[in-house]
Amino acid sequence: MEVKMEKITKIFPSRDKKDKAEVVAVNDFSFEVPDGSLVCLLGPSGCGKSTLLYMICGLETPTSGRINFGEQDVTDLPAEKRGVGLVFQNYALYPHLTVRQNIKFPLENLKGEERPTKEEMDKRALEAAKLVQIDGLMDRKPGQMSGGQQQRVAIARALVKMPKVLLMDEPLSNLDARLRLQTREEIRRIQRETGITTIFVTHDQEEAMSISDMIVVMKDGVLHQTGKPQEVYDNPVNLFVAKFLGTPAINVFEGKVKNENLYIGEEAVLEVKGVEDKDVWVGIRPEGFDPDENGRFTCKMQGIDVMGRDISVVCRNMASKEVIRAIVSAENDVKASSMEVKFNIKPHKTFLFDKTTEERIRF
């Protein structure tokens, strides 16, 4: 089921009695989630991603704009009529019910013709439990399970009604690092197996990059960029997106373009054909530095971490005085004992941004 959002705006009245300013949580947002895909809404806290998710599921109503599921306009349809499954950060399981009863709960609530028989309910609960691999724990209560297992129960409960769309709001936030990794792989597997169109909200770029078919990067209620994770990483449209994606983060410098050469401080570090003379922001990905004793980007060594295949070099660029982090192959002869390290800059890992608008300048 494809989900289409057309010019969605959500304005909340102020929560603060003194300050009457309204909050524009989502601003003129248009995007189409392709059928059967897993899309992440990604952005910093307060960017409006949860509000958008709640509008898709029917818990909030847009101030303006329309939402379609396939051909059907669902904007004014109540949540229970939309056929969505919801998974939140806190699993919100009923503590006094067993896993089986928790999973069956949404089916027990169905009325009339929609309500399956008891046998059918048990069968569907078991199928959903098998999918998330907790079918061996059906008689346990939530208090007797780990956080990861409880979140699986919550996912099974969302799947048992066979939703057209699965919506997940920071579902991994309450899990420790190891379980987070494991559970996100599980979510990806379940999504692939069921083919349910899934919209996943997170502020964690690594999480989003690792599981999504597409990411939607948001800030202040506005959509900044969409695309396949790697495409967005390789081709950020502005400085915000470039800084938001990537671990370690992109290195950012003040620079100047003069006669189609990029200068950082007094050093001309790269040829940038077709760019007019101006001050710019320069973003260089950590993997964009190539150690070379004749390189034009000179740094004072601060330390290195060997990470097996790669080396992480921390050094201070002499021209800009900025500390940078470079990730280079361990085959390079970079030593922590050296005073100085020089690099060539890889053009395809270097981005220029307008100093005022912070939009990308292509070269």
Residues in contact with ligand ATP by CB under 6 A are 12, 15, 23, 25, 43, 45-51, 203
Q: Quick one: 173 or 194, whose CB is closer to ligand ATP?
A: 173
Q: Quick one: 45 or 294, whose CB is closer to ligand ATP?
A: 45
Q: Quick one: 154 or 201, whose CB is closer to ligand ATP?
A: 201
Nearest-5° angle of CA 49, CA 71, CA 103? Answer: 60
DSSP symbol at 355: T
Q: Quick one: 24 or 275, whose CB is closer to ligand ATP?
A: 24
CB of 122 to ligand ATP, least distance (A): 36
CB of 45 to ligand ATP, least distance (A): 3
CB of 23 to ligand ATP, least distance (A): 4
Q: Quick one: 43 or 148, whose CB is closer to ligand ATP?
A: 43
**Torsion angle (degrees, nearest 10) of CA 291, 292, 298, 304:** 30
Residues 6+ apart with CB under 8 A from 316: 299, 300, 302, 322, 323, 324
CB of 84 to ligand ATP, least distance (A): 17
DSSP secondary structure string for all residues of 106-144: HHHT--GGGSPPHHHHHHHHHHHHHHTT-GGGTT--GGG
The answer to whether the bond into 248 is cis (omega within 30° of 0) is yes
Q: Quick one: 209 or 218, whose CB is closer to ligand ATP?
A: 218
CB of 24 to ligand ATP, least distance (A): 8
DSSP symbol at 43: -
Nearest position to ligand ATP, beta carbon: 50
Element (H, E) at 54: helix 49-57
Rounded Cα–Cα distance for residues 213 and 338 (Å) = 43
User: What three-state secondary structure class fits 293?
Assistant: coil
CB of 144 to ligand ATP, least distance (A): 30
